[in-house]
Amino acid sequence: MDQTIQLAYRIAIVWAAGFLLAVAVRAVLPEQNGFTLTGHEGTLFIPFSRIGFWTCLLAALTVTALVVGRALLADIGWGNFR
């Protein structure tokens, strides 16, 4: 039970940090600078602030998946994860 509570706290801290970092990146980076992708239907402008925002959230999701995967592997006794 202690390991489950510790895992829940780790995941909460990672997600909180990810959201705070994503909001900070979105606030700091300018909206008018970014990438313009050109296709058959037209152009798509992607600002740097949105790229940074989604990168931070993807990082939080990746860390969460790694932490949960490690805990699952430790629970089934595979490897030395403690």
What pTM, to 2 d.p., does this model score?
Answer: 0.61
- Structural domain that includes position 40: 2-75
What's the pLDDT tens digit per position in 11-55? Answer: 888 788 878 887 887 788 777 888 888 988 899 888 877 777 788
Q: Are 25 and 52 in contact (CB under 8 A)?
A: yes
The residue type of 37 is: L
- In terms of Cα–Cα distance, which of 12, 18, 9 is closest to 57? 18
| Two structure tokens written together for 71 | 């805990």
82 lies in some domain: no
30 lies in some domain: yes
The residue type of 62 is: T
**Structural domain count of the chain:** 1
22 lies in some domain: yes
User: 44: helix, coil or strand?
Assistant: strand
